[in-house]
Chains A and B, each alone.
Chain A
Amino acid sequence: MLLSFDYVRARSKDDAVNLAVEAGPNGRFLAGGTDLFVRMYDRQLRLKTLIDVKEIEGIEGMECQNGQGLSIGAASSLNMLVGNETIRSRYGLLAQAAHSVGSLQVRNRASIGGNICNASPAADTAPALLVYDAEIETWGPRNTRLIPISQFFTGPGKTVLEHGEFVYKIRIPEPDTRSYGVYLKLGRTNSVDLSIVSVACLALASGEVRIALGAVAPTPIRVTEAESILLSRKDEEAIAFAASAAKETAVPISDVRAGEEYRLDMVEVLTKNAIEQALAGLAATGEV
């Protein structure tokens, strides 16, 4: 049972903003609801108004035009991402990350916008979006802005979003070269679990290797120190250095899922494996 609140449906971007401003601090935008309803069910959150954004034009669906990159409507479900051919072939890492969220039922409702707006340090799509240098297009009382994902998260459950501002689209720039991405997630069970540690690694034909971590800091993070080690060298030793640099960067906590020390060691293990797999994958696709 949920405790009472009012549900309103936003008809347009402006409508959404106005409804949110009107609702005040006890209002919240609703997309898939798979996280919001859980917190409301647990009585961690009591809201007065939920503003459903799913019917706003353009907030669901994907667009990919050559040279323009990919634009994903924020209310697109994770399974829409998983099943999208363009995403699977060109942004495979994002498909993998989306696929690792919750259960199939949850992914049919959960939206990519919700996954990042909840700003869980363990949000699975966040490390993927970080390595793709995604930008978040928002609409709010002060009109629209484009926020680099690296600046979007400010802490557990916290983002730079202002009151009344919602995520409309997620934009991923066109990759300049061929790339291969790997998302590794360590959980307790093999499905429907939160990450103990997750690592996204994107190897680009340009020689760049991008790495982001989940569940080991107050926000999902890019590990640029590790990335710069791999700019010039990609041998076994360099990979080990990079993995160790990722571990140095991580600042996990201990909780019921795992201890801090274990998480740190696993950052190193998963980072190393992710780099190796991404480089191998890139090499293999290059051969084709």
Chain B
Amino acid sequence: MAREDYIGVGVIRNDAVEKVTGAARYAADLKFSGMLYAKLLRSEHAHARIRRIDTTKAQNVPGVKAVVTGKDFPNRMGLYLKDRTPYAIDKVRYYGEPVAGIAAESLEIAEEALKFIEVEYEELPPVLDLREAIKPGAPLVHPDLHTYEIGPAFFPIPHTNISNHFRIRKGDVEKGFAEADLIFEDEYYVPHIQHSPIEPHAAIALYDRQGKLTIWACSQSPFAMRNILANSLNWPMNRVRVIAPYVGGGFGGKAGLNVEATLVPLALKCRNSPIKLVCTREEEFRDTFVRQGMLCRLKTGVKANGRIIAQEFEMYWDGGAFTEYGVNVTRAAGYSSSGVYDIPNMKTDSYCVYTNKPVGGPLRGFGHSENHWAMEQQIDQIAHKMGIDPVEFRRINLQRDGSRNATGQVLSNPGIGQCLERTAELIGWEEVSGPGVIEPGVKKVRAKGIACMTKAPAMPNDAASSAVVKLNDDGTVSLSIGAQELGQGAFTVLAQILAHELGVRYEDIKIQPIDTDYSAYEWQTVASRITYSCGRAVKAAAKDARRQVLAHGARYFGVPVEDIEIAESRVFVKSKPDRSVPIGTFSLGVTLPDFSGYGGPVIGRGTFIPEGITAMNEETGQSEKPVANWTYGTQAVEIELDVETGKIRVLKVAAVYDAGRVINPVTAATQVEGGVVQGISIGLLEEMKFNEEGKLLNPSYVDYKILTAADMPDELLISFVEVPQEDGPYGARGIGEHVMVPTPPAIANALYNAAGIRMKTLPMTSEKVYWALKERLSASVR
């Protein structure tokens, strides 16, 4: 009998049957007796003072149970910066901000009653343009910013719209530029986009007679949600409970605390009545987190031999009305600002800027899709200028063993070199010698482009994981974790680790739905950290349970503990394998031959916290170990450009990531597939468009298009590099976010190689590409 090896095996997902039969329950599927329904009145101005608000008439509509406004919950809340309240108080800061909420017997009554709330606004000049927002004397979105509570790693500039200024000062950047033979400088922009999970946000809140507030929510962060809520309510944490069923896609949009907060003052008023809120797709687009826009200026100095010697990077983030979470995006984009390159002299300034736009927050990639959009294009621009093949130019500058990244951290054997080479091989890279030229009469052209990436989990240094393993009487296993299943396959991979480590059958493991009252603690399911961090906790918990089972076995069989093994849910004596019993024999302890009991129920516990991460210096951003780990990857694309219309079609994608160790090759591949398609979608189509008043013009799939099945690439070539992560389970590190980061710049680079045009603003819509093509053609005629 051998221990089943579950590491590196593509087992079937453990959530598949539930999901494919429609049996899986998501937050919007939950229903309770006596349930009330909530609807929110939202601001129709981007920036305005609330002069008067009268809810009396709405209160009197039959069926209405409660109406609340900002004054009913004045405590500020937020993950890193406490800058927001569930409902606007005194002024509104974006078009769509909740102004009042209604709980009623039916959704229809709640909606009809909204019309009876009277609000009088005094319009204020909206801050919509990033460049204007940072000018001295600009109207302030948060005049009281200097009084807000903020985490230690963030540096707001009082009496401005800047809520965080992150800095890198490495080497001597002026000297570096002075020594450079070529200096290249350009500006890049990414617009606001939306996560667009197919499941809109949904939550139910109940304030019961025990004085306990329970929230059922589609959440990536049940524990963070509990923390923020208890904190803002100033309650003991055991009076707040968050229950989180399956999440129908997160991508960062369901991290932290968001729309759920609007239910809290309603629940406090309607004691013992559960209140349900389900976002419409319009609300999902505008009133949950969005990805901030980002405008940046990037300047690079290069030596004649192709070595980058200096880089100056200024990023301005269009953070929106509240930046409680967004401040950390700007920090992450700052400390990763060398990308995958070894740059001796660096100066980076990343500014989080308040504007009167929807609330910026985490989105898959967390600042890296944005800064790599600039970096990975500029690398190609310089390569072209110097007449060096873009792959070769990358080779010259890649981080190697012993290189120092932007934070001065010394890197040990980064996997990027292998990723780059394998990607080039998979896509069939041929040396690129100059911009593409379109011959007259040619209607379609093809070309390849490449881009690299790196990202670290952007999380507090003490972001921890834990796990509890319980053996049931019959030998089946319950795993309690706070990590969430968002579709990425976390439950599957964690069950594999448990099965492997404990020696039980994968099929015999069930993961308990997350309930902060009962589940083991997890910081949040974000930052591509679950396989790495929770994986370590599960591994430790499994080892702990295993130790107990082995001890029970030794006692039962009367042999030394070293002679006991567990495999396929059976415990046996190694030297006499026919002496074996099902593992359930020991779940509750051991019954000895004289029928006396020994031991007790098997419960394994495991915890993990990445060790040795130290704060970055406030002035320089330097640190010996600023983050838990770095994941590297490379993608290349082959595109076809329709010269007549400007439409880009991605034909082929090659993607290679250093996963450290692939625990499940199938779920790892599916992460890459989905990420690449999301990356193409963001590259070609996605943009939230606002009018001059700050109103979102396309809050629906009608005019915010995402890739459909008819738009996918013909071929997707995926491969993994495995340079082990020292403290990862079996060497594993995360890849979930990384896989969509290099896609847009790879397409942009391919576009240049196809047609000699450079798109510095996302998305690369056919219209924009068409005009760029036209300009290029007329320039070449001139």
Contacts and interface: CB of A to CB of B under 8 A. Distances in A.
Contact between chain A and chain B defined by CB under 8 Å = yes
Interface of A: 1, 3-4, 42, 186, 188-194, 196, 256-259, 262, 265-266, 269, 273
A258 B711 CA distance: 19
Contacts of A196: 767
Contact of A191 (B107, B644, B708, B770): B708
B474 interface: no
Interface string B64-108: 000000000000000000000000000000000000000000011
Interface residues on B, range: 20 to 34
B114 to A, nearest CB: 11
B438 to A, nearest CB: 15
Contact of A3 (B108, B766, B771): B108
Nearest to A3: B108
Interface string B739-782: 00000000000000000000000000111001100000000000
Nearest to A268: B644
A213 to B, nearest CB: 16
B108 A189 contact: no
A190 B710 contact: yes
Nearest to A272: B644
27 contacts: A1-B107, A1-B108, A1-B111, A3-B108, A3-B111, A188-B705, A188-B765, A188-B766, A189-B685, A189-B705, A189-B707, A189-B708, A189-B710, A189-B711, A190-B708, A190-B710, A190-B711, A191-B709, A192-B710, A193-B705, A194-B702, A196-B767, A256-B703, A259-B767, A262-B767, A266-B645, A269-B645
A262 B702 CA distance: 20
Given A269-B644, A273-B644, A192 B765 contact: no
Given A1-B111, A186-B766, A194-B702, 12 more contacts: A3-B111, A188-B685, A188-B765, A188-B766, A189-B710, A190-B708, A191-B710, A256-B703, A259-B767, A262-B767, A265-B770, A273-B644
A194 B705 CA distance: 10
Contacts of A262: 767, 770-771
Contacts of B766: 186, 188
B163 to A, nearest CB: 30
Which of B107, B697, B705: most chain A CB closer than 10 A?
B705
Contacts of A4: 108
B286 to A, nearest CB: 14
A4 B697 CA distance: 27
B221 to A, nearest CB: 28
B708 A192 contact: yes
A1 B111 CA distance: 10
B272 interface: no
Contacts, number: 48
Contacts of A258: 767
Interface of B: 107-108, 111-112, 282, 644-645, 647, 685, 689, 697-698, 702-703, 705, 707-711, 765-767, 770-771
Contacts of A265: 770
A256 B688 CA distance: 10
Nearest to A263: B767
A256 B703 CA distance: 7
Contacts of B111: 1, 3
B703 A257 contact: yes
Contacts of B711: 189-191
B677 to A, nearest CB: 12
A256 B282 CA distance: 16
A219 to B, nearest CB: 20
B31 to A, nearest CB: 15
A3 B109 CA distance: 10
A186 B685 CA distance: 14
Nearest to A269: B644
Contacts of B705: 188-189, 193
A256 B710 CA distance: 22
A121 B771 CA distance: 25
Nearest to A41: B280
Nearest to B110: A1
A189 B647 CA distance: 10
Contacts of B767: 196, 258-259, 262
A281 B645 CA distance: 22
B77 to A, nearest CB: 29
Contacts of A193: 705
A269 B774 CA distance: 13
Contacts of B282: 42
A103 to B, nearest CB: 9
A191 B701 CA distance: 12
Nearest to A197: B645
A194 B701 CA distance: 11
Contacts of A191: 708-711
A273 B108 CA distance: 50
A3 B112 contact: yes
Give 9 nearest A-B pairs by CB, closest first.
Answer: A190-B710, A191-B710, A262-B767, A269-B644, A188-B705, A256-B703, A189-B705, A190-B711, A256-B698
Contacts of A1: 107-108, 111
Contacts of A273: 644
B471 to A, nearest CB: 46
Contacts of B644: 269, 273
Contacts of B685: 188-189
Contacts of B703: 256-257
Nearest to A258: B767
A73 to B, nearest CB: 28
A161 B770 CA distance: 40
Nearest to B687: A256
B762 to A, nearest CB: 14
A188 B763 CA distance: 12
A45 B282 CA distance: 17
A161 B708 CA distance: 36
Contacts of B708: 189-192
A1 B702 CA distance: 18
A259 B311 CA distance: 37
B281 to A, nearest CB: 10
A163 to B, nearest CB: 27
A256 B763 CA distance: 13
B149 to A, nearest CB: 39
B604 to A, nearest CB: 47
A256 B689 contact: yes
A191 B705 CA distance: 10
Nearest to B689: A256
Which of A188, A190, A192, A257: most chain B CB closer than 10 A?
A188
A192 B702 CA distance: 9
Contacts of B770: 262, 265
A194 B703 CA distance: 9
Contacts of A42: 282
A273 B711 CA distance: 22
A46 B107 CA distance: 17
Given A3-B112, A190-B708, A256 B645 contact: no
A274 to B, nearest CB: 12
Contacts of A259: 767
Nearest to B763: A188
Which of A189, A258, A259, A266: most chain B CB closer than 10 A?
A189
Nearest to A257: B703
A190 B680 CA distance: 14
B697 A256 contact: yes
Contacts of B112: 3
Contacts of A257: 703
Contact of A186 (B107, B645, B697): B645
A13 B282 CA distance: 38
A199 B112 CA distance: 43
A265 B770 CA distance: 10
A47 B767 CA distance: 38
A44 B765 CA distance: 29
Which of B644, B647, B702, B767: most chain A CB closer than 10 A?
B767
A186 B111 CA distance: 38
Contacts of A186: 645, 647, 766
Nearest to B685: A188
Nearest to B443: A273
